[in-house]
Amino acid sequence: MNDSVADAPIFDPGQWQLTEQQASLSALARELGKSRFAERAVRYDREAAFPTENFKDLHESGLLGICIPEALGGHGADLKTYMLVASEIGRYCGATALTFNMHVSSCLWTGPLADDLTLEGPVRDELQAGRKRHYDRIIKDGAIYAQPFSEGGAAAAGKVAFATTATRTEGGWLISGKKIFASLSGHANYYGALCTELKDANDTPSRRNTMYVAVPADAEGVRVEGEWDPLGMRGTVSRTLIFDNVFVSKEALLMPRGVYFSAAKEWPHMFMTLTPSYMGIAQAAYDFTVSYLRGEMPGTPPVKRRMYPTKQLAVAQMRIMLEQTKSLWYQSISEAKTSPDKESLIRAWTAQYTVMENANEIAQLAIRTCGGQAMLRSLHLERLYRDSRCGALMLPWTAELCMDMIGKAALYKPGETDE
Ligand SMILES: Cc1cc2nc3c(=O)[nH]c(=O)nc-3n(C[C@H](O)[C@H](O)[C@H](O)COP(=O)(O)OP(=O)(O)OC[C@H]3O[C@@H](n4cnc5c(N)ncnc54)[C@H](O)[C@@H]3O)c2cc1C
């Protein structure tokens, strides 16, 4: 690690009353981000290349196992701790934070979140045995898990059963289907895929029979297809993944059958894990602006622009949006738990919407305020701007779907209709 001076935390441990663990893991992420990820982010973005070196660092630093229970070799972090840590990574490389999220979700969902569910004894035993197998690979070998859910239909929004199927066969299942936007494709060791279990080819697909399986990347029948040349979040390498009759044994289950369906219903805040990357980007765009207007941005002439009232007003506007975003997000991740009440759920959707939209709004204000020289590709502001636009598109809680759910929940009580 080099000697670069650390940035101030996004969430100051004293002011936001962080636990010791939250403070120390966030500091570790910030140090890695500042000293290593920030510089590498330029190439990952230019070449739309996967952040392999960053994942090696995440493994060596122990962060790859952040949500793995301590007894199994990890840090045992809960959702809130993970979110705070990931936001610090997002400040320096959005694509690393977003792919880190896909990986960590495989542990968070099967670990601390599943522990909160009411499960029958044998189901819990099966969960324990399964996760030990997956976690060992992560801790010992640095294995990386992807999270390919999206299929281009309504399944990733939670409206219909996944079209990717797992048909029972001798000793396991045969997985078939297509996943689009599979971040980490060609780079993950396992694809944590959601699919619908079928007893046989004539079975009717049901969301209740959703299975969460770890498909080994090198299994026969797994293929990565298509170009990857997007607007932003280019280092995520979110190409198309094909499963063509891929055999997986029972050991591939990440959660016992039926548990994912319960988790998605009972632990809805789990879908907020896509936000920390964008929380970090919002902070980074604000930091850039302050540094640039003070004439302190490395790589630019030391010209001060802070004395103009229009600049001061714009920074005030950005700061107000940043504080609103941080406060709402912090409250929402602090109250995350099983079976949240309606108010808490509406707040979670509101926080999701706010982070995703405000990150982009703050980045675009940053470009307008700093001016033409600041949007040259030699600086990172234009990348923040492009990356920030992607947040609102992430299913199942896209900005549009959040508005849809907030409006309906605010106007209707459970079971109410207009007939
Ligand atoms: C950088 C990046 C990385 C990604 N990584 C992953 C990943 O690792 N794994 C993964 O599974 N997915 C990933 N995604 C995919 C993402 O979660 C969405 O599935 C994807 O952006 C949807 O694109 P689409 O064109 O198919 O959207 P569509 O399904 O066509 O939806 C377009 C818009 O319509 C709205 N909409 C969709 N469904 C409904 C509905 N039922 N009712 C009302 N409105 C609706 C939503 O606002 C949505 O944004 C990634 C996306 C991006 C941009």
Confidence of residue 6 (pLDDT cuts 50, 70, 90): low
Distance CA 353, CA 275 (A): 9
Residue 172 pLDDT: 95
Mean pLDDT of 41-47: 98
Residue 258 pLDDT: 86
Does 345 have pLDDT greater than 50?
A: yes
180, HSE (Cβ side, Cα atoms, 13 Å): 10
Residue 227 pLDDT: 95
Residue 419 pLDDT: 80
97: burial class by Cβ within 10 Å (0-12, 13-18, 19+)? buried
Distance CA 261, CA 269 (A): 14
141: burial class by Cβ within 10 Å (0-12, 13-18, 19+)? exposed
Distance CA 295, CA 304 (A): 4
Mean pLDDT of 267-285: 97
Of 94, 80, 97, 105, the closest CA to residue 396 belongs to 105
Give the contacts of 51 (CB within 8 A, at least 6 positions apart). Answer: 37, 40, 41, 44, 93, 95, 96, 99, 235
Question: Scanning the structure block, which residue is given the tokens 């607007």?
Answer: 231
Query: Ligand 1 — pocket residues by CB below 6 A?
Result: 102, 147-150, 152, 154, 156-157, 159, 181-183, 233, 236, 238, 390, 393-395, 398, 400-401, 404
Does 155 have pLDDT greater than 70?
A: yes
Q: Which helix (H) or strand (E) holds 195?
A: strand 190-198
Residue 318 pLDDT: 98
Longest dimension (CA), the chain: 73
Confidence of residue 366 (pLDDT cuts 50, 70, 90): very high
Mean pLDDT of 141-157: 93
Q: Higher pLDDT residue, 401 or 414?
A: 401
Lowest mean pLDDT among 176-190, 246-260, 306-320: 246-260
Distance CA 139, CA 133 (A): 10
220: burial class by Cβ within 10 Å (0-12, 13-18, 19+)? exposed
Does 235 have pLDDT greater than 90?
A: yes
Q: Cβ(79)–Cβ(273) under 8 Å?
A: yes
Q: Whose CA is nearest to atom 26 of ligand 1?
A: 152
Question: Of ligand 1's atoms, which has the minimum distance to the CA of residue 159?
Answer: 41
What is the rounded average pLDDT for all residues in the chain? 95
Q: Whose CA is nearest to atom 8 of ligand 1?
A: 183
Does 218 have pLDDT greater than 50?
A: yes
Cα of 149 vs centre of ligand 1, distance in Å, is 10
Distance CA 351, CA 345 (A): 10
Q: Cβ(190)–Cβ(266) under 8 Å?
A: no
Here the tokens at position 63 are: 């962060």
Mean pLDDT of 13-17: 98
Q: pLDDT tens, 49-79?
A: 999 999 999 999 999 999 999 999 999 999 9
Cα of 18 vs centre of ligand 1, distance in Å, is 33
Distance CA 98, CA 89 (A): 9
From 394, 397, 402, 408, give the residue whose CB has the most ligand 1 atoms within 8 Å, as the site to mutate.
394
Cα of 221 vs centre of ligand 1, distance in Å, is 25
Confidence of residue 3 (pLDDT cuts 50, 70, 90): very low
Mean pLDDT of 274-298: 97
110: burial class by Cβ within 10 Å (0-12, 13-18, 19+)? buried
Mean pLDDT of 6-18: 95
Domains of the chain: 20-144 (1.10.540.10), 165-257 (2.40.110.10), 267-411 (1.20.140.10)
Residue 2 pLDDT: 39
Of 10, 56, 3, 59, the closest CA to residue 30 belongs to 10
Q: Higher pLDDT residue, 133 or 199?
A: 133
> Could you tell me what percent of the chain has a pLDDT over 70?
99
Residue 156 pLDDT: 81
